[in-house]
Structure 1
Amino acid sequence: MNLFGETENWVFKLNPILIKYHDRKHPLAYQNLYQLLIMVILSAQDSDANINTLSPSLFLRYPSLQSLQETKPIELYPFIINVKYFENKANWIIEIARRLKNDINIPLNIKDLTVLKGIGRKSAHVILREFNKPAQGIITDLHVLRVAPRIGIVLSTKDALKAEKQLMQLFPQTIWGNVGMAISFLGREICRPKPNCHNCPINSSCMYFINNNLH
């Protein structure tokens, strides 16, 4: 049963965006697992575009976890000073480097990733998806929190975990790795705060589009 009391095949209804975004790489311009780990930490409450701009110089100076082990957080400041909450993030990055010691020790499972400072469920899901690991949940970022209720898939909430649990109950685990990112890409490109509904590939299934008589 969906939120409106009728049985709905949301997998079928979202199929256009599942196909459209299936092989789309995450917008963070990483080159390896180490870079993605650092970039997802830096991107929290900041923009991917900002992190993409500053990361080359950061990684040129610090190309691996090993290179960060003897670094003090303050030494990272010049590279990330334009990132929101850069002081906290510098502390988390150095703590992770000292904990893991080597890039090969970066975990690829939800339990061990979320133990690391600065890595929440959303960031962990992104890492697992990008490295083709079995999904252990659904990416639920700010775009998903805006778009999924608008479509009518979940109840409106600011609680990412609550929304993720609703999504996990609705979709089969076989597509968990793709459905959250597909909704996120839709939110980035079309279903913006001011949505471009007439160019949306799933507008015929969207409650916002239907209820606002946008046909």
Structure 2
Amino acid sequence: MNLFEENKNWENDLKPILKEYKGKKHPLDYENTYQLLVMVVLSAQDSDANINNIAPALFAKFPTLKSLSKTDSETFMPYVSKVRNHATKTSWLLEIAKTIQNDNEIPLTMNGLTALKGLGRKSANVILRETHQPAEGIITDLHVIRVAPRIGIAKESKDGNKVEKQLMEVLPKKMWSEIGMAISFHGREICRPKPKCEECVLNDICYYYLHLKKGL
């Protein structure tokens, strides 16, 4: 079923979740841009909670990109062994560290970040948002991929880049920095796989609730 509705005032309709979540820190418990970069790479296809659990020991051993650039996979891998696809992510992170070397040289643009191994648009958007850079896209994680079509703001797709493109087409650029994370938090807390529609601040405009739940 196509839930996508093009001719709506989404900027106005989505204000309730922006009010609720604007400026809220990402669930990854990082302390600086270096830690954020590493944790974003590790969190792909894994949970933020798992990455938060392994982070203290990891960053105690490797506190900077410079320290990471001087190690090898055999030394590094035990610190990320509980992370999904840890062998691949180890090679990505060691290559990133050797490429950049210094924490203050981490690129903070979409092109600069996506040129690094293991970083796609979703990851780059997270880093840009958390470091308060101008938005070049919209965070589109698994929660956004699930929730945006339910609301009616995008067509259903498993491809995050396609969903992001649709969101960018219908939302003004001034919303880009915050709206993806707001939809993500909404998906984590309310619009879960089994949604809590009666508690939802968007149920007066949500396609899923208005058309499916009421049998229209």
On whether the aligned pair clears a TM of 0.5, the verdict is yes
CA distance in 1, matches of 2:41, 2:74: 17
* Partner AA of 1:213 in structure 2: K
Aligned-residue sequence identity (percent) comes to 53
**5+ long unaligned stretches in structure 2:** none
Match of 1:79 in 2: 79
Match of 2:40 in 1: 40
Matches within 5 A, 1:108-119: 108-119=108-119
The answer as to whether partners of 1:74 and 1:90 remain within 8 angstroms in 2 is: no
Q: CA deviation at 1:3?
A: 3.3
Q: Secondary structure, in 3 states, of the residue corresponding to 1:84?
A: coil
The answer as to whether partners of 2:5 and 2:154 remain within 8 angstroms in 1 is: no
The answer as to whether partners of 2:5 and 2:153 remain within 8 angstroms in 1 is: no
Q: CA deviation at 1:16?
A: 0.4
Matches within 5 A, 1:9-24: 9-24=9-24
Question: Is structure 2 residue 28 aligned with structure 1 residue 28?
Answer: yes
Matches within 5 A, 1:85-100: 85-100=85-100
Q: CA deviation at 1:70?
A: 1.6
TM-score normalised by the chain length of structure 2: 0.96
Q: CA deviation at 1:213?
A: 1.4
Question: Is structure 2 residue 66 aligned with structure 1 residue 66?
Answer: yes
Match of 1:149 in 2: 149
Match of 1:164 in 2: 164
CA distance in 2, matches of 1:4, 1:181: 21
Match of 1:195 in 2: 195
* Partner AA of 1:204 in structure 2: D
Give the aligned CA root-mean-square deviation in angstroms: 1.2
Q: CA deviation at 1:4?
A: 3.6
Moved over 3 A (4+): 2-5
CA distance in 2, matches of 1:3, 1:126: 25
* Partner AA of 1:148 in structure 2: A
CA distance in 1, matches of 2:143, 2:4: 20
Q: Secondary structure, in 3 states, of the residue corresponding to 1:52?
A: helix
The answer as to whether partners of 2:4 and 2:149 remain within 8 angstroms in 1 is: no
Q: Deviations over 1:180-206 (max 9, x none)?
A: 111011001110000011111111111
Q: Deviations over 1:113-144 (max 9, x none)?
A: 00000111001000000111000001111000
Q: CA deviation at 1:151?
A: 0.7
Query: Using CA pairs below 8 Å that are at least 6 residues apart, which structure has the higher relative contact order?
Result: 2
